[in-house]
Every structure is written in structure tokens, then in C-alpha cells.
Amino acid sequence: MERQRKTISCFMWLAMAGMIFLGVQASSVALAEYPDRPVEIIVKGGPGSGISQLGHFAAKLAPKYLGQSMVCLYKKGGSGAVAQAYIQKRSADGYHVFMDTTTTAIVLARGKVPFTEKDWQGVIRLQVDPQGVAVRADSPWKNFKDLAAWIRKNPGKLRWAGSHAVGIDPYTVALLLKATGLDSTDIKYVPAEGASHMTTMLLGKHIDVATLNPREVKEQEAAGNFRVLGTGHPERLKDHPNWPTFKEQGFDVVVAIWRGALVKAGTPAAVVKKLHDTFNAMRQDPAFVQFLKNASQIDGYMGGPDKFDPFFKEQVQKMKAYFAK
């Protein structure tokens, strides 16, 4: 009995010591060349969200080019505020990569988090997802010009939905209205819960116009239920050459959701470059090309950090101006 007790307590201490040992080892200090330990990819969504799919995919594919393993971590909450705080609390050493979307720019511009765009360093833009406007195929508007003319004739009548009340969709609607010389009081903007919600409402004739991205509209368009009145891409989309752009219809609105990687500002330039090269190589991997294609996303590469970083900061500034109104 006594011996048994001793064996068990011995086992306990060993187990405890083992746990701590592994923990210490995982966090022991070593100043080898970057990256000498797994790199974390932090996403703001939970399992199953679009951004977590990208995060997981990158964590699976990129280690091949980084020479070090990567893990995808969820830090959900506050539209990414929790994830931002998680990274900003840590040192700027490139071991915590923020895989995120336009939402970050919006959150920063709203000024609700104790960080600014200067606390971030853009690494690479991986995807762009142009904003688009769709109506039911049986509605009278054939293109965006028709729609604008109709709104002008019937102010305050059009039921136009977008995701959420504050975000990229209302921003897009505001830009479009501004480009047509209209005002937000000329329509009824209906904040929806997301793309599926808008699709259902549009199919059920509860709304007239929806703000949707190519991925969200292409199936309904192919089935002949919806018509795309315009996209916020600079030129016509390769996969959908029949969709007009806003630009060609005379409305200078280019707006898209992007997804890409950011790190904490102050990360050494060599580390940023290493990360950029890794993701850039991954971007050209056939598996990633297929991943983008399946998700109906467009490759959003715009050059190194020297291109993406200023783009990101400028976007935050633009959004700030929009929210200040």
C-alpha cells in the first residue's frame, strides 16, 4: 500500500515536471536566426470563417518555403480587436503574423482600439475580393446607370442591403452614392447579417439591391436569378467577362476587400522580407492557386511590403475621413 502510494506520487511529480520542462523548453531563450521556432498565424475569426480557412491553408502550405512550422491560432472577439491586442502585447519579432482583412483598417479607422495604423507593418496582400452590386434578374435595372437614374426619380424608395451598419459594405454604398451625386437619404440602407442573409432577402423580394462579392453572387447569377450591375474592380473580371465594372459605366469607384498579412511595427526589415518571400512563394504554389480559384478569389499581390504597407496606411486614412463625417 505504502509502496503503491509512493509509486503514484513519484509518477505525479514526474508528470508535473515533464509538463513544465516541455513548457520551458518551448519558451527557452535562443537568439538563433529567424525563424528558429514555429511562427503563429493569428486570425480574428473562429473555426470555419473565411479568414480562418486562409489562415489554416497558409499554415499548411507556407512552412515548405519558410523552413519552419507554422500554426494557425484563433483570437476571436471585437472584430479583431482581441487579435490585435494579442499581437501588440508581444515583441515585434515576426513570430506572430496577423492574417487579416479590410476589417482591420476599419477597426483602426473607427478609433476603438488603442492602436493606430502606425503600430502595424504590412507584409503582403494575398487576395482581393471586389465589391459588387446585384439585383434580381426580373428587376427593371439593366446596369448601374439605370439604377442611379431610378433612385434619382424615386428618392428614399430603394431598399439596398449590405453587410452590417459599419464596415466595407456601407462604405462601398456611400462611395457609389457619392459618385452618382446622391446622398444616403435617397435610399433605405438595410444592414444585413452577411452575404447569405442578403441572398435570401433578395430572392424573397424583401430587398431590391444587395452588395455582394463575386463568390457570393456567381451561383445565383449563373442560375439566372440575379444580375450583376457592377463590380468595384478596375477592369472586368477574368472569370466573369459579362459583368460590367462601375468604372466603365462612368462611376469612379474601385473598392475591394483584401486579405493579407501584417506584423507588429518595428519588426526587423530582414524578418519582414523573409515573411514576404515565404508568402510570395506560397502564392505561386499550384495548390494555393487552386485554393484561390475554388474560393473565387483574385490574387491580390501588389508588390513587396514597400507597396502594400503604404496602401494599407492610406486606406486607413481614407476610412478615417469617411468615419469623421
Partner 1 sequence: MRRGEILIALFLIVVSVAAWISSAGFVAETAMVRTLSPAFYPRLVVGGIIFCALLMLVRARHARTREATVAWGQWYKVPLAAGAMFLQVFSFEELGVFPSAWISLVLLMWITRVRLRMNLLISTGFLVFVYLFFVLLLQLKFPTEFLPTLLGRD
Partner 2 sequence: MLENWILGLNQLTQWQVLVAIIFGVGMGIVVGAMPGLSGVTGVALMIPFTYVLSPIVSVVLLVSLYSAAEYGGSITAITINTPGTPSAAITALDGYPLTQKGQTGRALSLSITSSVYGGLFSTVMLIVFSIPLAQVAIAFGPVQYFALGVFGLSIIASLAGGNWLKGVIAALIGLLLKTVGSDPLTGAFRFTFGWPPLWDGVAFVPTMLGLFAITEVLIIIESGAKSRLIKGAAFSTERMPWREIRGLWKCMLRSGVIGTVVGIIPGAGAVMGSIVSYNEARRFSKKPEEFGHGSLEGVCAAETANNGVVGGALVPLLTLGVPGSGSTAVLLGALMLHNVAPGPLLFSKHPDIVYGIFISLFLANIVMLVFGLVGVRFWLKVVQVSPAVLAPLIFGVAFIGAYCVGGSVGDIVVMVVIGLMGYVMRKFKLPLVPVVIALVLGEMVEISFRRALIISGGSFLVFVKDPISLGLLIVAVLSIAYAIIRDVRPSQTKQAH
Q: Which residues bind partner 2 (CB under 8 A)?
A: 46-50, 52-53, 56-57, 60, 73-79, 81-82, 85, 112-113, 156, 159, 164-166, 188-191, 193, 196-197, 199-201, 203-204, 206-207, 215, 218-220, 222-223, 225, 291, 293-296
Amino acid occupying residue 178: K
| Contact indicator for 247, 253 with CB cutoff of 8 Å | yes
Taking residue 321's Cβ as centre, other Cβ atoms within 10 Å add up to 10
Minimum CB separation from partner 1 for residue 70, in Å? 11
Sign of the Cα torsion 97, 103, 108, 114 reads negative
In the three-class reduction of DSSP (H, G, I as helix; E, B as strand; rest coil), residue 38 is classed as coil
166-185: contacts with partner 1 (CB under 8 A): 166, 170, 173-174, 184-185
Residue closer to partner 2 by CB (options 52, 131) is: 52
Select the binding partner of residue 241 from partner 2, partner 1, none (C-beta < 5 to 8 A, by kind).
none
Instruction: Give how far Cα 164 sits from Cα of 16, 99, 110, 189, 191, Å.
Output: 48, 21, 14, 10, 5
Select the binding partner of residue 15 from partner 2, partner 1, none (C-beta < 5 to 8 A, by kind).
partner 1
Residue closer to partner 2 by CB (options 72, 176) is: 72
Minimum CB separation from partner 1 for residue 95, in Å? 9
Minimum CB separation from partner 2 for residue 154, in Å? 12
Minimum CB separation from partner 2 for residue 70, in Å? 13
73 binding partner 1? (CB under 8 A): yes
Residue closer to partner 1 by CB (options 7, 317) is: 7
Q: Is 280 exposed, middle or buried (0-12, 13-18, 19+ CB in 10 A)?
A: middle
Select the binding partner of residue 222 from partner 1, partner 2, none (C-beta < 5 to 8 A, by kind).
partner 2
Q: Is 22 exposed, middle or buried (0-12, 13-18, 19+ CB in 10 A)?
A: exposed
248-267: contacts with partner 1 (CB under 8 A): none
Residue 139: which residues within 8 A CB-CB, separation 6 or more? 208, 227
Extract the C-alpha cell encoding 34. Answer: 529567424
165 binding partner 1? (CB under 8 A): yes
HEC-encoded secondary structure of 65-90: HHCCCEEEEECCCHHHHHHHHHHHCC
Select the binding partner of residue 220 from partner 1, partner 2, none (C-beta < 5 to 8 A, by kind).
partner 2
Instruction: Give how far Cα 179 sits from Cα of 124, 148, 175, 257, Å.
Output: 30, 10, 6, 19
Pairing relationship of beta strands 132-136 and 226-231 according to DSSP bridges: antiparallel
Task: Pick the stretch among 85-93, 252-260, 282-290, 297-305 that binds partner 1 (CB under 8 A).
Answer: 85-93
Residue closer to partner 2 by CB (options 167, 305) is: 167
Q: Which residues bind partner 1 (CB under 8 A)?
A: 5, 8-9, 11-12, 15-16, 19-20, 22-24, 26-29, 71-73, 89-91, 110, 165-166, 170, 173-174, 184-185, 188-191, 323, 325
